[in-house]
Structure 1
Amino acid sequence: MSSAAHLRSPLVERGPRSEQTGRQIASLLPPHTHYVQPLSGTLEVLLHKPCSALETVNDVDRELVTFWKVLRDRPAELARACALTPHSRVEFSSAISGSRIPGEANEVEIARRVWLRLNHSQSGPARMRPQWQNAATHRKMASALDIAIDQMTETAARIKRVSLESAAPVKLIAAVARQLGVCIYLDLRPDVFGAQGASLVHGARVEPVQVLRAVSTAKAAVVIRAERSAITDSPVRSWTCTSVGEQRDGSAVHLWSNRVLSMQEHLFDLGDYGLGAT
């Protein structure tokens, strides 16, 4: 099994099932040679899938794209900056109030502020809400944060050949939607969508319905994680729905796709992080 199976996103969601769910979704992706994620989020699925010949990650928030770019190209510097960041209300407030720092600012500092906003927020890293994480909560999360920082170099190796874009999601979808061999993955949960650019770049906000309309006629494979309410009256309501990780309380992750989803064999049989089609 490749170590890719054990990577923890440095912007990891909080929750006992987040990593397990990422692995399960990755194992259900249809075979593809080009993986496209129009709204980057935490990359939890990409980090748990084998490398494809082409992989494209996009977000309308340039600072989030900068974070992934710095992690890919300068992981040691970013890891050191994050490791030396204290749990401090002053630091957190500075990162929130100074989120739109000048374009000429050090990219490592921009990336550190993104990491700080997401990992020291009380509401959870997937939501980008400006609520400082109290000391008790921080202590509970400290071990997971340390692991994610320690793994930044490994994560950088995994995303080394990933193309990072900052385009309008609908335009990116239109550019690849008719190409066979493409797999488009979308996470449209309401608590994550805001972290994918919308909450920081209000002028570039894209509503889920616009994204769903854009993929509704795609020839490329499309996999969507969303709540049922978002799909009920959408153009993709007739697509196949697959439930993942159903619990005793009936809760489950729901995936909609224009393909029949089934577990892919040899998901983590990579050996290394070199190129290889899935």
Structure 2
Amino acid sequence: MAVANPSTQPLGRTLSLQAVRVLLLLVFAFPIVFMFVSSFKPDAQIFADLTSWRAFAPVGDISLDNYRGVFDRVPAGRMLMNSVGISTITVVLGIFINSLAAFALSRMQWRGQRVVLTGIIATLIVPFETFALPLVWWVNKLPWLEVQGFSLVLTDGWLDTYQVQVLPFVANAFSIFLFYQYFSSIPKELDEAARVDGASWFGIYRRIIMPLSGPAVATVAILTFLPAWNSYLWPLMVVQSEEYRPVMVGIQYFFQLNVAWGQVMAYASMITVPVLALFLAFQRAFIGSIASAGVKG
């Protein structure tokens, strides 16, 4: 009677999984590789290489002319700085506001708690396009303090400003729910022990809950950064001045006259790198948070 080798099946399964992962990596990486490689080629060579493997290889007439052309055609530096600032502030405020709301919903006991949580979750089914126009009307009526000379002046309307691209998107139902799920998995005995020692609710939030919620914070940071960085429709509706526009609006500059596809690829590469860098920096925490939310939720 033949005895099966116990290590054969696990090894074969491991190789199969690795092969599937490599295949998926190639499928998802090909567009990014093509975009990045094409950003160094002139338009004529991009189209000439489309039918061969050369489309994915940095061969031929390689130069930085497309990147120089981007800055000649679009105020790319200003737009990049705007998007970095808008996205960073949205992420920081979003983590603070949404985690506070989730802390109140998951750790404290008060009347109507379930109703509020249900209402917050219900907003997830409402698409942004349905309330975009009413939101434009509201932000055009809201006051804002501005510094003019040496005095503060109360002005009407947020249109054509930085705050109109940040404040409407700080509170996020999905971020609140994700924090809620993660906070609920932390033993409440820690709260009771801290309360006995005289800690306030905010002290528990700051010193106990948040330090234990690194994966959730990283996940919310990524999920908040991506829509803020990729925002296109909303800036088109509320921002008219070039000095306030984010990077995604800059895409339309390349399609107004003669389309230079090499410059399009160069600009797309420039605005994709920050997103990839952010995900690679927080991927372990992101995957850990999603896995824990799925198991404990």
TM-score range, shorter chain: under 0.3
For the pair shown, the structure with the greater C-alpha radius of gyration is 2
Q: Please give the TM-score of this superposition, normalised by the length of structure 1.
A: 0.25
TM-score by length of 2: 0.23
